[in-house]
Structure 1
Amino acid sequence: MGEEVFKLDKNKKIHRTSIGGQAVIEGVMMRGPKGIAIAVRTPDGSITIDKKPVQSLSMKYKILKAPILRGIVAFFESMIVGVKSLMFSAEFYELEGEEEEQPSKFDKFLEKLFGDKLQDVLIYFSVITALLFGIGLFILLPTVVVGFIRKLVENHIVANIAEGVLRISIFLTYIILISRMKDIQRVFQYHGAEHKTIHCYERNEELTIENVRKYTTLHPRCGTSFLLIVMVVSIVMFSFISWQNIWIRLISRLLLLPLVAGISYEVIKFAGRSEHPVTCLISKPGMMLQKFTTREPDDSQIEVAIEALKNVLPENREDDK
């Protein structure tokens, strides 16, 4: 964690939680052990809360709570929840200052085809599209690029390292570029508010703007850190696969991706629950990367994050483990 947190709380017992969240358009989504809450600052200045119970496959099938498997499930479910949260927050702003448009013929066709299920179809389509984009850009593209120069590199270990370095370079470039976008910077402020609020709760302080404000915007369980760990784990795992036919290599990448996600989940979960020097070292690169994906929030944004967190708090601390 950030050094400022240790200085502020070195004598306080830290309460480890499984509470996480995500910044959305003018708001924050928080997910606790039993519920999800989205708090959005609407155009009129008020805060709207949407609460839902957690519905996870791991609750229905206990086998999915096993290490690695739980990470695979959490990865895909977090994407679905994230898209739903973004769509909910967007509803308050997409019609602001615009006249309502009549549905096109294609929109009417989709409504007729899917009926009440259209919203779910759009959500899953968005998740699949995002997955394909991410896999194509960060996983497959580096493999293809290095494949072109494979004849110049005889050692397959060197080729694997080159692929890994290119993968991380693309990822870091992508993060840095989007962090410069004005609209994204405001979302990153809410991202910072989310982290600050969780820090405050984990240190058993009352959730007030004054208490939350003093904490760092960096958190070891952040999704940004998770993605960076995915990159590192993929380098290690893929290095054991020799360079063969490019298509075999691409397919192997796709088949191993769920396992990579599962292992990465276990790594970040472990790192987020310990302050051992080794785990702090593991968390350090991801924490540094969060300097691009978080910004210092203002008090109104902190207020939104507090409202989101309050609406997912368990009835007692023992439930939140």
Structure 2
Amino acid sequence: MKAVRSLLRLMTLASEGCALPLVGGQAVMEGVLMRNGASYALAVRRPSGSISVESRLWRTIGPQGIRSVRFLRGFPVLVETLSNGVRALNRSADLSMGDDDSSPMSRWQVALTLLMALAAAVVLFVAAPHLLALGMEQLGLSGGMKGLSFHLWDGLFKFVMFIGYIAAISFMPDIRRVFQYHGAEHKTIHAFEKGGMVTVETARACSRLHPRCGTTFLLFVLSVAIVLHAVLVPLLLMVWDPSSAIVRHAGIVCFKILLIAPVSALAYEIIRYAATLKKGFWGTLLRAPGLFLQLLTTREPDDGQLEVAVAALRAALGPDSPYAGRFESPDPIVME
């Protein structure tokens, strides 16, 4: 009777034109995170074969009002997504190994992890491409930093290193399984957004590629960075151009690091705009690069992985959700 009441409530909402909740997710170690508004659910396959689910509040960064301010909200949203993702990833690693009693990461541990990740990203995708572009200049294949060709080389190396990094880690067995759970997350969300029952069978028939994937955001960050660097670096050198080449290049690398915040903010607004576009030329054009990259960051999941993703989505929506009647899978082990 409860399932019937949920379906009747769902039909009432549909007739009133209510939109589905905008759920999103992330693949973790042997599991999936599903976010629904101010909370999220983490479902992980245990060594015993059972599924554990934990529900948590989504931790926000900065004042709440900034999330309504365009061109300012992107960077705090990125930071809080990374922060919550790191916590969920660490917890999933413990659960997947059968460790129930591990203490959660402290704020300092999360901050240190994020700083280390940021440092690695700066080395790989800021400093290294800049040095390689400098090498092209030394070979006579590029002009200086005041010209466009230097930044085109820099952008090309950014994309090559980014794609190469993803392709390289995809050969690691653990990462390959994470990519399978990534595909399971997308398939389950597709099944939910299509309407009808959300089961392993309905999710299996859906695409593993999803236009709202965070992979698209990373591509836009790289693209926006290339454009802003090509415009702002020459402008900076017009007012600040030290005679020492070492100081000049070190200063420009630091300048690019400082641009991470405005770059991510602008990329976020472009993603939001792309999400509002219906099917058509511009919508397809903006979504195509992200969907193409998902061919690398997702893999076809097995039924067990889909079951975990369905459990995560069910828990994220909650037992009292009007959509609860669309789930047939039995309740997993719930760990509060």
Shorter chain as denominator, the TM-score bin is 0.7 to 0.9
Does 2:143 align with 1:154?
yes
Equivalent residue for 1:63?
66
Does 2:34 align with 1:30?
yes
Structure 2 distance, partners of 1:213, 1:273, is: 27
Instruction: Within 5 Å, give how 1:127-206 maps onto structure 2.
Output: 127-150=114-137, 152=140, 153-154=142-143, 156-206=147-197
Helix, strand or coil: the match of 2:40? strand
Report if aligned partners of 2:33, 2:43 keep a CA contact under 8 Å in 1.
Answer: yes
Instruction: Within 5 Å, give how 1:94-105 maps onto structure 2.
Output: 94=97
Equivalent residue for 1:263?
266
Report if aligned partners of 1:15, 1:202 keep a CA contact under 8 Å in 2.
Answer: no
- Structure 1 residues 175, 226: closer, same or farther in 2, change over 3 A? same
Equivalent residue for 1:90?
93
Equivalent residue for 2:112?
125
Equivalent residue for 1:112?
none
Structure 1 distance, partners of 2:19, 2:282, is: 20
Report if aligned partners of 2:184, 2:306 keep a CA contact under 8 Å in 1.
Answer: yes
Helix, strand or coil: the match of 1:219? coil
Equivalent residue for 2:218?
227
Question: Cα deviation per residue 1:59-85 (whole Å; 9 max; x = unaligned)?
Answer: x43134212222111110111111101
Equivalent residue for 2:312?
308
Helix, strand or coil: the match of 2:143? coil
Helix, strand or coil: the match of 1:131? helix
Structure 1 distance, partners of 2:309, 2:274, is: 24
Report if aligned partners of 1:191, 1:295 keep a CA contact under 8 Å in 2.
Answer: yes
Structure 2 distance, partners of 1:269, 1:14, is: 20
- Structure 1 residues 278, 121: closer, same or farther in 2, change over 3 A? same
Residue type of the alignment partner of 1:127: L
Equivalent residue for 1:272?
275
Equivalent residue for 1:53?
57
Residue type of the alignment partner of 1:219: H
Structure 2 distance, partners of 1:117, 1:170, is: 33
Residue type of the alignment partner of 1:191: H
Report if aligned partners of 2:47, 2:97 keep a CA contact under 8 Å in 1.
Answer: no
Using the TM superposition, give the Cα deviation of residue 262 of structure 1 relative to its aligned residue in structure 2, in angstroms. Answer: 1.1
Report if aligned partners of 2:184, 2:309 keep a CA contact under 8 Å in 1.
Answer: yes
Helix, strand or coil: the match of 2:301? coil
Match of 2:285 among 281, 290, 294: 281
Report if aligned partners of 1:234, 1:260 keep a CA contact under 8 Å in 2.
Answer: yes
Structure 1 distance, partners of 2:28, 2:105, is: 22
Structure 2 distance, partners of 1:266, 1:279, is: 14
Aligned length: 286
Q: Which runs of 5+ in 2 are unaligned?
A: 1-16, 242-247, 324-336
- Structure 1 residues 88, 233: closer, same or farther in 2, change over 3 A? same
- Structure 1 residues 180, 16: closer, same or farther in 2, change over 3 A? farther
Report if aligned partners of 2:33, 2:41 keep a CA contact under 8 Å in 1.
Answer: yes
Structure 1 distance, partners of 2:224, 2:18, is: 28
Report if aligned partners of 1:140, 1:253 keep a CA contact under 8 Å in 2.
Answer: no
Report if aligned partners of 1:14, 1:202 keep a CA contact under 8 Å in 2.
Answer: no
Using the TM superposition, give the Cα deviation of residue 273 of structure 1 relative to its aligned residue in structure 2, in angstroms. Answer: 3.7
Structure 2 distance, partners of 1:139, 1:68, is: 22
TM (normalized to structure 2)? 0.79
Bigger mean CA offset, 131-140 vs 39-48:
131-140
Report if aligned partners of 2:46, 2:97 keep a CA contact under 8 Å in 1.
Answer: no
Residue type of the alignment partner of 1:145: L
Using the TM superposition, give the Cα deviation of residue 217 of structure 1 relative to its aligned residue in structure 2, in angstroms. Answer: 0.5
Using the TM superposition, give the Cα deviation of residue 118 of structure 1 relative to its aligned residue in structure 2, in angstroms. Answer: 6.5
Residue type of the alignment partner of 1:256: L
Structure 1 distance, partners of 2:28, 2:98, is: 17
Structure 2 distance, partners of 1:239, 1:273, is: 28
Question: What is the CA RMSD across the aligned residues, in angstroms?
Answer: 2.4
Report if aligned partners of 1:24, 1:187 keep a CA contact under 8 Å in 2.
Answer: yes
Flag the structure with larger Rg.
Answer: 2
